Amino acid sequence: MRQSDMAAAIKILKKESIRFETPYLTEVAGEGKDPFRVLVSCVLSLRTKDSTTRAASTRLFEKAKTPAGLSSLAVGVIEKAIYPVGFYRVKARRLRQIANELISRHYSRVPDTMEGLLSLKGVGRKTANLVLTMGYNKPGICVDTHVHRIANRWGYVKTKTPEETEFALRRKLLRRYWIVLNDLLVTFGQNVCRPISPFCSGCRLFRFCARAGVERAR
């Protein structure tokens, strides 16, 4: 994909996204922009299906809506609430630890800077970018597996890791597309540009796409 094609591609992706279910994290961000909810939901979502994350987050937020609330829960109670998200035991301990750190070092507020977010144990660049963009409406590019895969298939970047992709996109992509990109590509990646055997024959971005690394398609 050439730089000059990006505006048209984003326009198509926006139209396409209406056809599909909204990713859970986008829903959370839309519900009053609570950075704490975005942070907790993002931790729960790692290596977990959207529907499982949705149910687990709902159960957990019924028990705790703030860092203080989460910190007061026993790890076993958190585990039970978030089961069966991937690595639920690790995540339960991590969430409690994050809640404690927010209370002790950040006045019970979720930091609104990349440095502050990355200082929380277990928070990586993907989560930090998501909290910045969806929780605070600040510039950032959240690169998950979908964004990394699709940007490479397009030939827009040529990178080996999501982190490399994030920095390549920060250099190349116009700032006005930073926040929306994750949202659009998660939906597009779940439904059209699937990890294995993407639906290239009916893809509306076909003419822009280098299809780099695509060996099997439908």
Q: Which is nearer to ligand SF4, 103 or 180 (CB)?
A: 180
Tell me the C-alpha distance between 112 and 132, whole Å: 6
Alpha carbons 95 and 92: distance in angstroms, whole number: 5
- Residue pointed to by tokens 């990006």: 6
- Of 153, 169, 179, 184, the one binding ligand SF4 by CB under 6 A: 153
Amino acid at 169: L
Report how many residues bind ligand SF4 under the rule CB under 6 A: 13
Structure tokens at 182: 């994750």
Pick from 75, 98, 198, 215 the residue near ligand SF4 by CB under 6 A: 198
Stretch 92-121 residues interacting with ligand SF4 (CB under 6 A):
none
Q: Distances in Å between the alpha carbon of 211 and those of 55, 166, 202, 203?
A: 35, 20, 14, 11
Judged by CB under 6 A, the stretch of 26-34, 57-65, 161-169, 196-204 that binds ligand SF4 is: 196-204
**Judged by CB under 6 A, which of 38, 44, 147, 209 binds ligand SF4?**
209
Contact between 192 and ligand SF4 (CB under 6 A)? Answer: yes
Residue 58, classed as helix, strand or coil, is helix
- Residues engaged in binding ligand SF4 (CB under 6 A): 153, 192-193, 198-200, 203, 205-206, 209, 211, 214, 217
